[in-house]
Chain A
Amino acid sequence: DGGITQSPKYLFRKEGQNVTLSCEQNLNHDAMYWYRQDPGQGLRLIYYSQIVNDFQKGDIAEGYSVSREKKESFPLTVTSAQKNPTAFYLCASSISSGVVYEQYFGPGTRLTVT
């Protein structure tokens, strides 16, 4: 079955620690995205990548970093510089980055930092 996997589903960290969220897709999609969702709100774009070894900042990139070394993988690191990291994180992919292509989403990772 093709799809996007994110692990783990729930993640707990102490303040001051970096943490990496995994995102893997086997849909052969070129474009991948990371979103943050806070309770009762819509999605905000953190980073996106249109092709391997290339990525761009989204609207709220501060305190986050990404890499895209393989087409199928787009891990997100939440650094200690992110002031309010507790949130629901969603990874997505699309065939390409054109306007017509819908995004497919993973199940999400709920990060709690205390």
Chain B
Amino acid sequence: AQKITQTQPGMFVQEKEAVTLDCTYDTSDQSYGLFWYKQPSSGEMIFLIYQGSYDEQNATEGRYSLNFQKARKSANLVISASQLGDSAMYFCAMRDDTGGFKTIFGAGTRLFVKA
């Protein structure tokens, strides 16, 4: 069965430092996509980064990178040089073929960036 697990309900990071948000997933499919979204207090969901199951290189988008370890079924988000505006909820999500192309989301991690 498809599943996304985010084990960190809340995380604190000092401004300008790097932080890693954990995500593990479970799927029996070989073809799947992994996504990270940011949800500020305003409520809208903002797409950050995507990793395909067949991609050999870890995805990067500006200060965001995805540490993809396929054998361990983990897709951790790394935010470098944290900024105060990074304080938000972060959701890991997955879509695969067997799920009828539905996207499932983890419970989220709330990140607090300290000045």
B-binding residues in A (CB < 8 A): 31, 33, 41-45, 48, 50, 56, 58-59, 88, 90, 92, 97-108, 110
Contact = CB atoms under 8 A, between A and B. Distances in A.
Given A42-B105, A99-B96, A105-B37, 16 more contacts: A41-B107, A41-B108, A43-B45, A43-B91, A43-B105, A50-B101, A56-B100, A59-B102, A99-B32, A100-B33, A100-B50, A101-B33, A102-B35, A103-B47, A107-B43, A107-B44
A102 B43 contact: no
A108 B43 contact: yes
Given A43-B105, A99-B33, A92 B96 contact: no
Contacts of B100: 56
A10 B84 CA distance: 27
Interface of B: 31-33, 35, 37, 42-47, 50, 52-53, 91, 95-97, 100-108
Contacts of B45: 43, 90, 92, 103, 105
B44 A99 contact: no
12 contacts: A33-B103, A43-B105, A44-B105, A45-B102, A59-B102, A99-B31, A99-B53, A100-B50, A102-B47, A105-B37, A105-B44, A108-B44
